[in-house]
């Protein structure tokens, strides 16, 4: 059940939410649409769902041109950030809604809803109302409701955005587990890159209506196509025109041939890892991430002069569009 | 540190308690006295008059009294049904549609609240009376009663449903669509149940208002006993002719009806709040 | 979309037939015989007296209900006593009472054969068929508006600001006047506007209580009725236009205030 978008553009008044976007989402994968707020990822998701109609371009779901297919008939399951629960119906009726619209026999509905209640760990709560559930429970109900109609594609729009951070972490891991069990093509939108890195098979980085890069989490981390990707996925600090991961900054007390002189501004202990803020001779600020042991070995103190150089760095040539779409090497 | 924080807490509670005690008594006294003198005392007098003299039931079942009560009741029920439909429709258009002059139209809805009832009645006579420019003359008919009640109860359902429609979560409709529901299904199963409490509230308030309506009906209906005489007009006639006992009796029935409706509404709303949603 | 337009024009048609056209008619009929005739009608001594009386009654009733309304709202929102629940229901009573019943009720208390009748007679005080009775009727019917508008505003404002003032040394009166009242001023304003509209437009209750003595105890609404019964249609229409204009002024000021508050 793969999804293909070709040349999709969408404007809202003067604002270009999507600008000539083309991407392919493989069937059965768990793909994350990531990017800063307002970048177009929610719009992209809604175009796939049929909740927005693009101004131009093609949308193919499972090889079928779906542009003129209304959302009711696309067979997509959609989960909203704020749950969109049917407040006047019980949890059970919420989940059963899609099937009752399709006029399935009562016994079939009952079996399926009970099965889903168990799957999302809400069994026993079927007769409650959404207002009586916690945020996490409501979102699991929303998920069960979307899954009930056996969608070919599952779409989630910032599904954990409205939840506490520990509930987020729990549900995110649970979603991954669910996907491993069910294997429905799943696309979810998040502005939290760590979330995407943790559970997605593939990441699509969307920024200002365009796709910056598509790839596995590892590819985006180790082979970012441009500085924006590098800064968005994972931490980054810059030496001249070289972009470096802070844990690739080598800190020594003796100078070497390619090292820069720097003064230790602050040492921040974050447990095992330590963040060291440094100022170079020309006044620029960088930071390095080293271990607790390194700090002891180097006997680092504030104000000390040290010598730093990147052990691994990235330099970006002026980037072409093809590079952005298909990744970069070196 | 801890002691001064605790000290501030204690002082806050003390201030609050003192305020509650001394502040509440005087206003409570004024409010209760005012309410009693202005509202409760006069109403008690009506009830007293109706139930002394032992003729309550014979008065109620006097033929003309009964006829007027029946007319008021049936007309009010009919109007309630029309308002339920028309009011919802108008609220929908005001919330979901956009057109030139919408703010003006929105403000116009409140006109029946602001306009004196006698003037409302006169406007209907002007357009639908003997000198009607569109040749529709409903004067002296029961249709006139119906029309007058429609005028005065117009805003109730509209203003009740409007805020609920405005607050309605569009994502619920999108969710329903993504699950396969068409427009009518979405309306019937998602939108309508959500506005139903507000709809009932508006209908009930309109009903309570219309069974006792006087000013707007009195000019156009002709007040023909047994035909177009509503309960309030009947009471007025009884006062004029000195039949105070009869007037008080019918008044008590009207009071009982509207109070029953409002109390039922109150109870329903309280239950709805507990339900959640 | 056809459905959207169908809904829109159905709504327009309904509102035109029930509301807009009838109201438009009285304006038309008023000026049908020329502006001069209309002017003559509206400047009749009885008409002017009726207008003055209407304004006078409102001028007494509205402040009374405003003071009551604010105090009552304070009680409803702040009081922990169970009494507040009962008060809540009682305040809405005037909405449930037919205007004619209000008139009857006042007659039964203050009329010649009413509960206070003999006492009033002995002290040569006239309530029914006189100004006091009309004021009482008007106060009754316009009672709930200020309360109902102030309660939600008061609830949202909370007590913190007032308590802060108290800890800073303000007396209860000072705290109320300088902190609470300003914070609820929009609720009070809306309430006053609604109360005034209701007071100016009262008909049924005043009709029973006033006695229709033209030029003495006739409000503008009673005047309209009187002119209609006397077949002086122009007089009735013109007086109605005055009242309608007052109603429009009410609507307009509500909208203007809402915009100012936002």
Please check the confidence at residue B8 and state whether its pLDDT lies above 80: no
Q: Between chain B and chain A, are at least 3 CB pairs below 8 A?
A: yes
What value does the mean pLDDT take over residues B211-231? 92
Report the gap between the CA of B179 and the closest CA in chain C (Å): 23
Which pair of structure tokens corresponds to residue C95?
A: 């909405």
Mean pLDDT over A28-57 rounds to: 94
Residue C170's SS3 state is coil
Q: How far apart are CA A63 and CA A66, in angstroms?
A: 9
pLDDT band per the 50, 70, 90 thresholds, residue B24: low
- What is the distance between the alpha carbons of residues B269 and B82, in angstroms, rounded to a whole number? 23
pLDDT at C214: 61
Note the pLDDT of residue A323. Answer: 47
Give the mean pLDDT of chain B.
Answer: 88
CB atoms within 10 A of CB B17: 10
Report the range of poorest mean pLDDT among B3-7, B259-263, C89-93, C205-209: B3-7
Q: Which of B169, B179, B277 sits opposite A131 (nearest CB)?
A: B277
CA dihedral B157, B160, B161, B162 (to 10 degrees): 110
The per-residue pLDDT for B52 is 84
Confidence category of residue B14, pLDDT binned at 50, 70, 90: low
How does strand A185-190 pair with strand A153-157? parallel
Secondary structure (3-state) at C194: helix
pLDDT tens string A170-201: 999 999 999 999 889 999 999 999 999 999 99
Residue B16 confidence (pLDDT) = 57
Inform me whether the pLDDT recorded for B115 exceeds 60.
yes
Query: Do the Cβ atoms of C50 and C242 come closer than 8 Å?
Result: no
Is the pLDDT score of A253 beyond 60? Answer: yes
Beta-carbon pairs below 8 A across chains A and B? 70
Interface touch B111/C236, C-beta < 8 Å: no
Of the pLDDT bands very low, low, confident and very high (cuts 50, 70, 90), residue B273 is low
In chain B, which residue's Cα lies nearest the Cα of C18?
A: B151
End-to-end CA distance of chain B: 44
Q: What's the pLDDT band for A329 if we cut at 50, 70, 90?
A: very low
Kindly report the CA angle at C150 between C148 and C155, in degrees rounded to 5? 105
Which chain B residue lies closest to C250 (C-alpha atoms)? B114
Averaged pLDDT, B71-98: 96
Q: CB distance C98–B251 less than 8 Å?
A: yes
Task: Give the nearest chain A residue to B185 (CA atoms).
Answer: A101
Chain A's closest residue to B177, CA to CA, is A72
Best of B164, B167, B172, B175 to disrupt the A interface (most A CBs within 10 Å) is: B175
pLDDT given for residue A328 in this prediction? 40
Report d(CA B122, CA C232) in Å as an integer.
13
Listed in sequence order, the DSSP H helices in C158-232 are 160-167, 172-175, 181-183, 185-201, 204-210, 220-229
Report which DSSP code applies to C203.
-
Pairing state between β A202-207 and A210-215:
antiparallel
Q: Do B174 and A84 touch (CB under 8 A)?
A: yes
Given a cut of 80, whether residue A322 has pLDDT beyond it is no
> What is the chain B residue with the closest CA to C175?
B19
Residue A316 is predicted with a pLDDT of 79
Q: What is the pLDDT of residue A32?
A: 97
- Please enumerate in sequence order all residues whose Cβ is within 8 A of that of B113, keeping only pairs 6 or more positions apart, or say none: B155, C194, C197
- pLDDT reported for residue B17: 55
Q: How far does CA A166 lie from the centroid of its chain?
A: 17
Mean pLDDT over C162-169 rounds to: 85
**Closest CA relative to residue B103, chosen from B115, B113, B95:** B95
Question: What is the number of CB-based contacts under 8 A between chain B and chain C?
Answer: 255
Residue A302 CA to residue B24 CA, distance in Å, equals 63
pLDDT higher than 90, residue C172: no
Distance from CA of B22 to the nearest CA of C (A): 9
**pLDDT for the residue C51:** 94
At which residue do the structure tokens 């900054």 appear?
A249
The stretch B135-158 carries a mean pLDDT of 94
Optimal mutation site among B167, B168, B180, B188, interface A, most CBs of chain A within 10 A: B180
- What is the C-alpha to C-alpha distance for residues C197 and C201, in angstroms, rounded to an integer? 6
Residue A283: pLDDT over 80:
yes
Model pLDDT, residue B6: 65
| pLDDT confidence of residue C215 | 63
Q: Is the pLDDT of residue A3 over 50?
A: yes
Parallel/antiparallel/unpaired status of strands A153-157 and A76-79: parallel
Q: How much is the average pLDDT of B104-115?
A: 92
pLDDT at site B117: 95
Query: If you average pLDDT over residues C3-30, what whole number do you get?
Result: 93
C8 has a pLDDT exceeding 50: yes
Confidence label for A150 from pLDDT (cuts 50, 70 and 90): very high
**pLDDT confidence tier of residue A330, bands split at 50, 70 and 90:** very low
- Dump pLDDT digits (tens) for A72-94: 999 899 999 999 999 999 999 99
Q: Chain C window 96-125: which residues touch B at a Cβ cutoff of 8 Å? A: 96-109, 113-115
Task: Reply yes or no on whether the pLDDT at B11 is more than 80.
Answer: no
Contacts of B27 in chain C (CB under 8 A): 71, 74-75
Burial class (CB in 10 A: 0-12, 13-18, 19+), A242: middle
Per-residue model confidence (pLDDT) at position A327: 42
Nearest to A101 among B171, B174, B181 (CB): B181
A70 band by pLDDT with thresholds 50, 70 and 90: very high
B178 contacts A101? CB cut-off 8 A: no
Chain C residues with CB-CB distance to B262 below 8 A: 92, 95-96
Instruction: Find out whether C213 and C131 touch, Cβ atoms under 8 Å.
Output: no
More confident residue, A147 or B3: A147
Does B181 sit within 8 Å of A97, measured CB to CB? yes
State the average pLDDT over residues B57-75: 88
| Facing C163 at nearest CB: one of B15, B30, B218 | B15
> With bands split at pLDDT 50, 70 and 90, how would you rate the model's confidence at B9?
low
User: For B91-95, C102-106, C212-216, which range has the lowest pLDDT when averaged over its residues?
Assistant: C212-216
What tens digit of pLDDT does each residue of A201-243 get?
A: 999 999 999 999 999 999 999 899 998 999 999 889 888 778 8
Whether the pLDDT of residue C245 is over 50: the answer is: yes
Give the C window 171-200 contacts with B, CB below 8 Å.
172, 194, 197, 200
- Output the average pLDDT for chain C: 91
Q: Write down the pLDDT at residue B274.
A: 60
What is the average per-residue pLDDT within C96-106? 95
How far are the Cα atoms of B210, B250, C26, C238 from residue C34, in angstroms, in the given order? Answer: 36, 45, 14, 11
In which band, very low, low, confident or very high, does the pLDDT at A324 lie, cut at 50, 70 and 90?
A: very low
């Amino acid at each position: 059940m793969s999804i293909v978008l070709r040349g999709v553009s969408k404007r809202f008044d003067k604002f270009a939410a999507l600008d000539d976007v083309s991407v392919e989402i493989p069937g059965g994968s768990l793909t994350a649409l990531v990017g800063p707020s307002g970048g177009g990822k929610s719009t992209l998701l809604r175009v796939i769902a049929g909740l927005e109609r693009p101004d131009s371009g093609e949308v193919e779901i499972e090889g079928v041109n779906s542009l003129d297919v209304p959302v009711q008939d696309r067979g997509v399951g959609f989960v909203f950030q704020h749950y969109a629960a049917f407040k006047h119906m019980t949890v059970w009726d919420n989940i059963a809604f899609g099937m009752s619209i399709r006029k399935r026999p009562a016994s079939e509905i009952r079996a399926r809803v009970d099965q889903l209640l168990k799957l999302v760990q809400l069994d026993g709560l079927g007769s409650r109302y959404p207002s009586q559930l916690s945020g996490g429970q409501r979102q699991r109900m929303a998920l069960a409701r979307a899954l009930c109609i056996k969608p070919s594609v599952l779409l989630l729009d910032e599904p954990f955005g409205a939840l506490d951070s520990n509930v987020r972490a729990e549900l995110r891991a649970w979603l991954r587990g669910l996907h491993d069990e069910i294997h429905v093509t799943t696309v979810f939108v998040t502005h939290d890159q760590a979330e995407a890195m943790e559970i997605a098979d593939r990441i699509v980085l969307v920024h200002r209506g365009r796709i910056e890069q598509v790839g596995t989490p590892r590819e985006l981390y180790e082979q970012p196509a441009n500085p924006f990707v590098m800064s968005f996925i994972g931490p980054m600090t810059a030496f001249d025109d070289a972009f470096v991961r802070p844990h690739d900054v080598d800190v020594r007390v003796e100078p070497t041939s390619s090292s820069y002189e720097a003064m230790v501004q602050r040492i921040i202990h974050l447990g095992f890892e330590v963040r060291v803020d440094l100022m170079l001779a020309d006044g620029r600020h960088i930071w390095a991430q080293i271990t607790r042991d390194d700090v002891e070995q180097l006997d680092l103190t504030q104000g000390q002069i040290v010598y730093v150089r990147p052990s691994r760095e990235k330099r970006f040539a002026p980037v072409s569009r093809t590079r952005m779409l298909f990744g970069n090497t070196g | 540190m801890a002691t001064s924080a605790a000290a501030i807490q204690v002082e806050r509670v003390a201030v609050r308690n003192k305020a509650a005690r001394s502040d509440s008594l005087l206003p409570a006294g004024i409010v209760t006295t005012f309410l009693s003198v202005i509202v409760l005392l006069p109403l008690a007098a009506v009830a007293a008059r109706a139930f002394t003299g032992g003729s309550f039931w014979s008065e109620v079942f006097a033929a003309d009294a009964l006829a007027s009560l029946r007319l008021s009741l049936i007309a009010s029920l009919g109007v309630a049904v029309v308002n339920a439909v028309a009011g919802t429709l108008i609220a929908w258009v005001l919330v979901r549609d956009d057109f030139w002059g919408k703010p003006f139209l929105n403000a116009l809805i409140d006109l029946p609240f602001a306009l004196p009832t006698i003037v409302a009645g006169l406007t209907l006579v002007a357009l639908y009376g003997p000198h009607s420019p569109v040749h529709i003359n409903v004067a002296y008919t029961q249709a006139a009663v119906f029309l007058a009640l429609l005028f005065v109860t117009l805003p109730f359902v509209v203003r009740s449903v409007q805020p609920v429609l405005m607050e309605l979560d569009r994502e619920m409709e999108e969710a329903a669509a993504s699950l396969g529901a068409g427009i009518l299904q979405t309306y019937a199963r998602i939108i309508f149940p959500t506005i139903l409490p507000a709809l009932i509230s508006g209908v009930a308030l309109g009903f309570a208002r219309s069974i006792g309506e006087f000013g707007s009906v009195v000019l156009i209906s002709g007040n023909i006993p047994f035909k177009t005489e509503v309960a309030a007009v009947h009471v007025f006639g009884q006062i004029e002719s000195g039949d105070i006992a009869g007037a008080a009796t019918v008044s008590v029935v009207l009071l009982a009806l509207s109070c029953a409706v409002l109390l039922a509404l109150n109870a329903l709303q309280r239950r709805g709040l507990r339900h959640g949603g | 979309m056809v459905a959207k337009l169908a809904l829109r024009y159905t709504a327009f048609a309904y509102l035109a037939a029930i509301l807009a056209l009838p109201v438009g008619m009285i304006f038309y009929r008023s000026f049908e015989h020329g502006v001069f005739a209309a002017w003559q009608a509206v400047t009749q001594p009885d008409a002017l007296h009726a207008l003055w009386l209407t304004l006078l009654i409102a001028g007494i009733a509205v402040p009374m209900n405003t003071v009551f309304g604010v105090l009552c709202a304070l009680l409803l929102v702040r009081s922990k006593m169970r009494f507040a629940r009962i008060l809540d229901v009682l305040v809405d009573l005037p909405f449930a009472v037919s205007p004619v019943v209000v008139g009857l009720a006042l007659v039964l208390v203050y009329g010649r054969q009413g509960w206070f009748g003999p006492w009033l007679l002995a002290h040569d005080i006239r309530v029914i068929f006189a100004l006091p009775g009309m004021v009482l009727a008007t106060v009754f019917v316009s009672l709930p508006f200020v309360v109902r508008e102030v309660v939600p505003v008061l609830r949202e404002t909370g007590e913190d600001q007032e308590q802060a003032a108290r800890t800073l040394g303000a007396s209860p009166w000072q705290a109320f006047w300088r902190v609470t009242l300003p914070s609820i001023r929009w609720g009070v304003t809306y309430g006053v506007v609604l109360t005034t509209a209701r007071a100016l437009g009262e008909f049924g209750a005043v009709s029973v209580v006033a006695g229709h003595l033209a030029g003495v105890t006739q409000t503008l609404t009673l005047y309209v009725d009187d002119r209609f019964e006397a077949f002086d249609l122009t007089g009735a229409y013109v007086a109605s236009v005055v009242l309608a204009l007052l109603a429009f002024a009410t609507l307009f000021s509500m909208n203007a205030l809402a915009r100012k508050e936002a």
